Chains A and B, each alone.
Chain A
Amino acid sequence: MATNTLIGSLVRIRELSILLVTIACAGYFALTSTGFTSLDNGHTIAQYIAPWAIVGAGEAMLLICGEIDLSAGFVFTLAPFVLVLLNNNGLPLFVALLATVVICALIGTVNGLIRTLFNLPSFITTLGMAFLLQGLSLIISNGSPVPAPADTWVRTTFGGARWSELTWALVIIAVMQIVLSASRFGIYTQATGSNPVGAAESGIRTSRVKVVNFAVTSALAGFGGILEGMRVGSFDPTNGGFNTMFFGVAAAVIGGTALLGGSGTVVGALLGALLLGIVYDGFNLTGVNANAFNVVLGVAILVAMFLNTYLSVLRRRASAVRGRT
């Protein structure tokens, strides 16, 4: 039965169920609101999803290796101010940008080392780091926004041009997905999250895998923060924070990454961010009451997750049937 195997093999693809839910949501808003399908609205959605997808890409890797980074949102907040600080002290803008990303990676390394050397849960470690970074952002910025550096090629390339933030997000997603599914490091990340003892018995240096993933997550979050600030044209100490971090984690989990580690994909985080962005934008367009907005958003996320899980059950059943025949 050709159709049966075709459906069977389609259902086996992990990301397909969340993609179907996303398309269904897009269809709903296209029919019920005016202007949802316009290019300008596409740009608005892109602005929502780019930071969530960038933070989500790192969080997906961390979740897969069994950790979480609650401080990523504040690295996102802090990075633009570090950039300004370095730039004001004489570093050319591009060099300052690279140095900032390196500093963000070091913050992640500290998270990872505290986690692995002292065996503290990453939840507490990164929660502490989150408040520390929030305070630092407020001190450096003096609590008020700073205008982004003047128009240069650096500004245009990194967030200034119309679609550049989304383009960077897509490039990051593609690179991280390749790292996860086509490199030995990706296999180690999955093994570390799935069976830490077994992975260590096989000689995988699980602590190092975790530290690297913490560093990557922070570097990505910092880079995302810079892109966001460059796009908006102003660096704001109230940007990012727990909100951006939780949307990133939600994007990864909606995209099928297990909260307890072992399995997941980076592309899933992009689809999760896309779903969140469409729902967020769609309710804005259909004019949901501002006070009720989060209620509607929350219900929509729960329904989307329910559909996603239900489709996953169908997928597993299909693959089990295929395995038996």
Chain B
Amino acid sequence: MTDTDMIRAEHVRKRFGPVTAIQDVNLHVRKGEILGLIGDNGAGKSTLIKILTGYHQPDGGQLFFEGEPIHLRSVVHARSLGIETVFQDLAMIDDLPVYLNLHLNKELVHRPLPFLRRKEMRRKAREALDSIGITIGSVTDPVSQLSGGQRQAIAVARSVFSDAKVLLLDEPLAAMGAKEGGLILRLLMQLKERGDRPGHHSDCPQLQPDRRRRVCDRVNLLQHGTITFDKASKDTSVAELLDLVHAEYRL
């Protein structure tokens, strides 16, 4: 618990009726750090992420953002603070072209005139996608013509190119091909190296533990709604992680 924590949760609880989704979760992410959150289905990963994005309000405990106690009222409120989320549903507008999706709700206009700067947005979108190596035919194509992986890559790119202080990825590699999956992980590494963009917290999926371990600085394991394991990636191994997840099913 230091001042460099971007986001911190202390004793956070959430119940849905009789079901306790998470209980007494303590979690923190430092500036420039990538935290991988793993856990079995139903362990409470999604609930925890949704609390950190402002989608759910916790029943108890306290969130801190940049050291200050904070109550996240909504996703929009969290975003205004610099907590960007890539939701599993991606929030893509199928009928709009790629470059408008990248600029959604952050469109460039000819100030003081309210007209869109489409040419400039096309150029910036092209630059942004080129710089992270996402290959698509044309930034003017509607998103509906892209593959699932390409859509996901664009959703991640959109969050990255906003002024995010914390980036939350919910199942970032779901529905991704090997190529796009590698692309996203490379993108996260780039962001970390750049350093100007602090604190990333990614909710990595269960699958491909090896790839995840290479990218994350630290791994937290969530079991039955509470964090049971917190170690730097370099101090652990795939075997140990799998062992922990599977331990409770062994006779």
Contacts and interface: CB of A to CB of B under 8 A. Distances in A.
Interface in A58-108: none
A184 B104 CA distance: 9
Contact of B92 (A195, A204, A323): A195
B116 A187 contact: yes
B109 interface: yes
Interface stretch (B137-145, B210-218, B220-228): B137-145
Contacts of A262: 93-95
A241 B115 CA distance: 35
User: How would you classify the secondary structure of chain B's contact residues: helix, strand, loop or mixed?
Assistant: loop
B114 A263 contact: no
Nearest to A199: B93
A324 B141 CA distance: 11
Nearest to A179: B114
B104 A202 contact: yes
Contacts of A202: 91, 104-105
Contacts of B96: 187, 190-191, 194
A323 B138 contact: yes
Given A182-B115, A184-B109, A323-B137, A201 B75 contact: yes
Interface residues of A, number: 21
Contacts of A188: 105
Contacts of B90: 198
B64 interface: no
B173 to A, nearest CB: 20
Contacts of A182: 115-116
Given A194-B94, A195-B92, A198-B89, A203 B79 contact: yes
Nearest to A258: B95
Chain B CB within 10 Å, residue with most, of A195, A197, A199, A323? A195
Contacts of B138: 323
A323 B115 contact: no
Nearest to B108: A184
Contact of B145 (A190, A198, A263, A323): A323
Interface string A166-207: 000000000000000011100110110111011101111000
Interface of A: 182-184, 187-188, 190-191, 193-195, 197-199, 201-204, 262-263, 323-324
13 contacts: A183-B114, A183-B116, A188-B105, A190-B95, A191-B104, A197-B89, A198-B92, A201-B87, A203-B105, A204-B105, A262-B94, A323-B141, A324-B137
Given A195-B93, A201-B75, 8 more contacts: A182-B116, A187-B100, A187-B116, A191-B96, A194-B96, A199-B91, A203-B105, A204-B105
